[in-house]
Amino acid sequence: MKNMRRSRRHRITISPMTTTSFPLDWNEIDTVLLDMDGTLLDLYYDNHFWLEHVPQRYAEKHMTSHEQARARLTDVFAAQRGSLNWYCVDYWSEQLDLDIGELKREIRHLIAVRPYVEEFLQRLRQRSHRVWLVTNAHRKSLTLKMECTGLERWFDRIICSHDLNMPKEQPEFWQRLQKDYPFDPARTLLIDDTASVLVAAQQFGVRHLLTLLQPDSRVAPRERTDYPGILHFDEIMPSL
Ligand SMILES: [Mg+2]
C-alpha cells in the first residue's frame, strides 16, 4: 500500500498522442513486449557502470584523473547515444581499449530486479499472454544479466536489437521485428523506460504504451512523462 500511495502521487501522464487506456484492460492485450534495463532491472547498475566504473578503469589504464576521464567519456558517449554502437560492448571495448564485458562482471553484484517484476511475469504467463523481452542490450550484457537474475525462464522469446541490426529508437526496428516475429500491434503492450523507443513503437502502430517513473532507484522519480507511467508493476498486475 505504501508503494501504491507513492506511485499515485508521482504518476503524471497522458500524452494526447497515446491511445493507452489506464488502468489497462488486459483483455485487449495478447503480446507484452518488455524492455530490460530501467524497466525490469534497476538502471542503477548501468548508470553506475558508465558514469563511475568505466571512468575509473579508463583513468587507471590511460594514466589520467577520474575527473578528466569522466569529462572525456561524457563527450565520447554523447556522440553515440541512441545508436546501436551506444549499446555495443565490442564497440566500446575497442574505442576505450578496455574489456567492457569483463568490467561489467566486476560489478555484477549491483544487478538488481525491480520490485514486483517476478510476480508480474508469473501472472502474465498464468494468463497465457505472450511475453517477449525486447532489448537494446548487447548479447554479452544480456547473458550476464540473465545469469544473475534468472529472469530468462519467463519469456517466450528474447530479442536483441543487435540481431535486427537496428536500435529500438528507430521505427524500422518495429517493422523488422514484426516481419521476423509476427504480432498484432493493436493488441500489444510495450513497457519501456525510454521515451524515444515508445515514440518509434507508436509510429509503427503499437497501441498500448507504458513507461517507468523511476528507472534508477537512486534517482528521484520523474515528475513528467510523455506516456502513462508506473512506479512499480503491482500497479498494473492483471487479475487471474
Ligand atoms: Mg531501458
Measured in angstroms, how far is the CA atom of residue 238 from the centroid of ligand 1? 22
Task: Assign residue 93 a region (left: φ > 0; alpha: ψ between -120 and 50; beta: otherwise).
Answer: alpha
Dihedral, 141, 145, 151, 155 alpha carbons, nearest 10: 0
Type of residue at 168: K
Going from N- to C-terminal start, the domains of the chain cover 2-42+111-236, 45-109
CATH class of 2-42+111-236: alpha beta
Measured in angstroms, how far is the CA atom of residue 62 from the centroid of ligand 1? 30
pLDDT in tens, 197-221: 999 999 999 999 999 999 999 999 9
Q: Where are the beta strands (DSSP E) in 73-156?
A: 130-135
Confidence check: pLDDT of 17 > 90? no
- Dig out the grid coordinates for 229 from the structure: 507511467
- Dig out the grid coordinates for 118 from the structure: 517476478
Closest CA to 173 of 201, 145, 193: 201
Confidence of residue 12 (pLDDT cuts 50, 70, 90): very low
Closest CA to 87 of 34, 42, 36: 36
* Separation between Cα atoms, residue 223 and residue 226, nearest integer Å: 10
Measured in angstroms, how far is the CA atom of residue 16 from the centroid of ligand 1? 23
Measured in angstroms, how far is the CA atom of residue 159 from the centroid of ligand 1? 14
Q: What's the pLDDT score for residue 234?
A: 96
226 or 20, higher pLDDT: 226
Confidence of residue 104 (pLDDT cuts 50, 70, 90): very high
Q: How many angstroms from the chain centroid is the CA of residue 21?
A: 22
Measured in angstroms, how far is the CA atom of residue 120 from the centroid of ligand 1? 17
Which of helix, strand or coil describes residue 41? strand
